Each structure stands twice: as structure tokens, then as C-alpha cells.
Amino acid sequence: MSVLTCPQPARRARQVAALAAVALLAACGSPPPPGPQIRITEPADGAVLTSPFRLQFAVRGLVVAPAGEVIEGSGHHHLLINADPLPAGTAVPFSERHLHFGKGQTDTELSLPPGTYRLTAQFANGAHQSYGPALSHQITVTVK
């Protein structure tokens, strides 16, 4: 007759933690790419909204700073409406389709007429020069 025993508590805790980590990675997909990253965290891609709505940016690996001085590793957000990311070094235009957040803002309330929109977050340096497509993120939303 064999006797079943429970694993030692510490070993069991490590097994549970490892299984939880595997489940979390599987649920989230692959890990984020290394290096700096810009995201629109709110609203979600594909969201159906009413105006006004909240838009929130996130940045990883860079410092959000007001426009003005060009400091390596820092910059500020821009929102491009129905426009693609700008090539690196290109100045972000000042227009109704190119919104500047030069005070270092990371969120805003946005009002758009009904329709479907491509919203592109574009990070740029203190002189409003784009860091390029690698530091942008695009979503599509529908405003009712």
C-alpha cells in the first residue's frame, strides 16, 4: 500500500506561482516588445463612443516633458486624427487634425462629430519633431 503525501508548502507555493505565471502569459499573449513604447490606453481599439470621451496616453521607457527644450529620452504626446504616423524628424503640424499636448498632458476629453476615426498617438521631442512610427500607436473608434 502506498501513502500519498502533499508536497512541502514552499514547493507547492512555487508550483502554484509558476502555473499562475504561465496562465497570465497565455492570457496576455506575448510579452511587450523591449524598448520605449507609446500607447493609447483609453478608449479601447474598436470602441463605440459618444462625444465627449476621455482619451488617455501611456508611455514606457521615455519621460513625458513639456515642449520647448529638446532633451534626449523625453518628449510629449500628439494626437493625429485620421492621419498616419509621421516619419522620424518630421515636425508635427499645428492643425485641427494634429493635436499637441505640449504641456506634458497624458489625457484629454475629446469631442468629435459622429463617424469612424483613426486616432494615432505620436510621441515627439521638445521641438515637436516626431520620433517616428516606432513611437506611435493607432486605434480606430466610432463616435455615435
**4 domain-assigned:** no
Is residue 15 in a domain? no
130 within domain boundaries? yes
The pTM score is 0.76
Quick one: which of 36, 85, 82, 34 has its CA closest to 58? 36
Domain assignment of residue 95, given as a range: 37-143
Q: What is the pLDDT of residues 85-131, one digit of tens each?
A: 999 999 999 999 999 999 999 999 999 999 999 999 999 999 999 99
| Residue 31 belongs to some domain of the structure | no
In a domain, 12, yes or no: no
| Assigned domain for 3 exists | no
In this structure, of 11-25, 45-59, 63-77, 90-104, the range with the lowest mean pLDDT score is 11-25
Consecutive H or E run containing 16: helix 9-28
- Is 100 within the bounds of a domain? yes
Structurally, the chain folds into a number of domains equal to 1
Whole-number pLDDT of residue 31: 55
Residue 80 sits in a domain whose CATH number is 2.60.40.10
Is residue 13 assigned to a domain? no
Cα→Cα distances 26→30, 39, 131, Å: 8, 21, 31
